[in-house]
Amino acid sequence: MPATYAMAIDAMNSTWCIIFLAVSYFSHKSSTLAVKQTVFVEEGLTVDLSCPFQAVTNPIIWRGPPNLKRYSIDNKINIYIGKLDKISVKGNLTTQMYNLSISNFTTTDAGLYRCETILNQTSKRHEIEVHLEVSPVVRVNIEPSSVVEEGHNFTLTCLYDSNTNESVIRWKRNDKILLNTQNRTLSVINVSREDAGKYCCEVANRIGIGTDVINITVLYKPRVMGHSNTLEIESDFEKPSFISFIIASGTKLNISWTIFRGGKIGYWNVQDIGEEIFNVSSTIFPLEKSHLGQYSVRVRNKIGGIDLNIELVGFKVNVFPSKLICNVTNVIELTCNVSQYITSNLSNIWIHSYDGTEIRSLQGSIKKRSSKLQIPSCDYRDAGTYRCIWKSSTIVQSCSSTIHVQSHPVLTSVQTLIHNGKTTIKVRFVSFPPPLEVLWFYKDTIVSKPILSVGKSLQKTGVKVQIKTNTILVNGYVTSYQIKETKSPASAVEHYSCKVRNIIGNLDVSFPELNITRKEGLRNNTSKTAGVDGIIHWSIYVLSGVFFTVVVMIITISVLSDRELLQKCKFK
């Protein structure tokens, strides 16, 4: 053995002999434990641990993981711990203070560190708990199951471990944020097919982000994609009509006909076009007119079933626009098209109706398979439903458009009512759009507060309007005002007027020479003056009758007397 190496071994043995004696010495002294510190270190960084004690006559000893092994005495490192490339002691011989430095910190370096010495015959210890800061470790739990039937509920819980406080908990579905909150649970109720997919919980701390993903499968009954459960198909006799639906289903489909009108029906072809989407198709072969109409199909999977309706029509008719709101005096223009599917000759007519009552028939301008209807300078009487009818030798098809005409309020009737000595004026009218304000005037002076909404003085009611030769009951309004004067209501009424306003214009109503309606019970409530006048009138009538009767009797007696006298003269 070389002499130099032997000398080094002897020196090390001597040093650690001194350490052993020092430790043995510490163990026989009373000890005091300083306040423990906690330190967090990011992986790969260097951490410096400070010892608050100053060595005067006794050494400073550093211990660390695992199991508080001796790392150093003063500035001398224990070569047997295997961390010479990571551990160093930064000593200050002047102050006799020694700090431990650990570089490239990893999980094996985390744990309890202690510096210790003897001061005034007392063992002093300072402990430091060093943790490795790591990204959160996340796990998502689900109740009751990751496979859920449509209409049921499920709850996700985000469980995680993080040795530092988390800053954000975020829920995502199919990479889109659902919740950005500190809530660890996510509940989904009344689950639908759209709730299926990958759910992810992200937990972030200042080191990084931890995630966990769970896949939710929703079992649901078949669903029609793209349109309603009713399909209208044009058809011609003795030609096949092709039917096709796009169906969403998580499981295999079974399809069967449930209602058919007598046409020849084909089998159902089911084609999987991916992502739980299927194309189902078949044919109907009508032979005669009775084979047109509704056919029905039931589509089932393991969860449930739906009914699909197929309306077999000879040809299609559509009206544009299907709904129109126009202002008074504007031109109404409707276009009615018939499909090109049918080849036979067709005739066309328009029917105008209001609330189910037919008003008139109209003829449109026909060009090829299109009929255009124009109504110039429209007013409220042109509102209603316009049905476009196309007829062939065997089939009649129609389509409708609803027209609303915005106009100033239109008067339908006025009425003066006397009841219990009180006179009330009523005005009935139609207004679309609704009235905004009603005012009552006496000799052009406002006598009522503005009526701005439906209430006691403005009520919705049915009113009668005359359209062509038809009287139709429609939705309207009635406003009323009670006159304070009662002695001569007829003369008082003519000084009153009423104005109704909507966003289009105004209606101004006057009341000259109105017929006054008296309700029953008026005689029992008339004034004393009216009663005396009635008695006088009756007395005059009776006396006149008596007088007339007396005069007639005198004349009759006189005539009879003259006849008797004449007869006597003849006999003589």
Is the same domain home to 413 and 506? yes
Residue 356 DSSP symbol: T
Is residue 330, in this structure, part of any structural domain at all?
A: yes
Is the same domain home to 280 and 336? no
Is residue 530, in this structure, part of any structural domain at all?
A: no
Among 115, 133, 151, where does a domain finish?
133
Question: In the chain, which stretches have pLDDT less than 50?
Answer: 1-29, 520-539, 541-542, 559, 565-566, 568-572
Per residue, the 3-state secondary structure of 115-153, as one string, reads: EEEEECCEEEEEEEEEEEECCCEEEEEEECCCEEECCCC
Q: Identify whether the C-beta of residue 225 lies closer than 8 Å to the C-beta of residue 232.
A: no
Is the same domain home to 329 and 295? no
Domain count, the chain: 5
Q: Identify whether the C-beta of residue 524 lies closer than 8 Å to the C-beta of residue 515.
A: no
The pTM assigned to this predicted structure is 0.48
Backbone angles phi, psi at 561, to 5 degrees: -65, -40
Is residue 423, in this structure, part of any structural domain at all?
A: yes
Q: Which domain holds residue 262?
A: 223-312
* 389-433 confidence digits (pLDDT tens): 998 877 888 999 999 999 999 999 999 888 887 888 999 999 999
* 85-109 confidence digits (pLDDT tens): 889 988 766 666 889 999 999 888 9
CA dist., res. 131 & res. 318, Å (int):
76
Among 219, 240, 266, where does a domain finish?
219
Q: Is 292 exposed, middle or buried, given 0-12, 13-18 or 19+ CB atoms closer than 10 A?
A: buried
| Three-class DSSP category at 430 | strand
What would the two tokens of residue 434 be?
């609704």
Is the same domain home to 308 and 357? no
User: Closest by alpha carbon to 205, among 248, 161, 271, 254?
Assistant: 161
Residue 191 DSSP symbol: -
pLDDT, residue 232, reads 86
What would the two tokens of residue 350 be?
């328009």
Place of tokens 């560190």: 113
pLDDT, residue 544, reads 58
Is the same domain home to 231 and 186? no
Sheet strands side by side (includes 470-483): 458-467, 470-483, 422-430, 410-419, 516-518
Is residue 534, in this structure, part of any structural domain at all?
A: no
Backbone angles phi, psi at 491, to 5 degrees: -70, -30
CA dist., res. 71 & res. 92, Å (int):
17
Place of tokens 């954000």: 168
Is the same domain home to 39 and 126? yes
- The CATH number of residue 160's host domain is 2.60.40.10
What contacts 24+ positions apart, CB below 8 Å, involve 498-501? 498/425, 498/427, 498/438, 498/439, 498/440, 498/441, 499/438, 499/439, 499/441, 500/409, 500/427, 500/429, 500/431, 500/435, 500/437, 500/438, 501/409, 501/435, 501/436, 501/437, 501/438, 501/439
Is residue 231, in this structure, part of any structural domain at all?
A: yes
Residue 277 DSSP symbol: E
User: Closest by alpha carbon to 45, among 2, 132, 126, 105?
Assistant: 105
Is residue 359, in this structure, part of any structural domain at all?
A: yes
| Three-class DSSP category at 390 | strand
Is the same domain home to 277 and 256? yes
Among 184, 219, 254, where does a domain finish?
219
Is residue 5, in this structure, part of any structural domain at all?
A: no
Is the same domain home to 228 and 291? yes
pLDDT, residue 100, reads 92
* 137-168 confidence digits (pLDDT tens): 899 999 999 999 999 999 999 998 877 776 67
Q: How many CB atoms lie within 10 A of CB 518?
A: 12
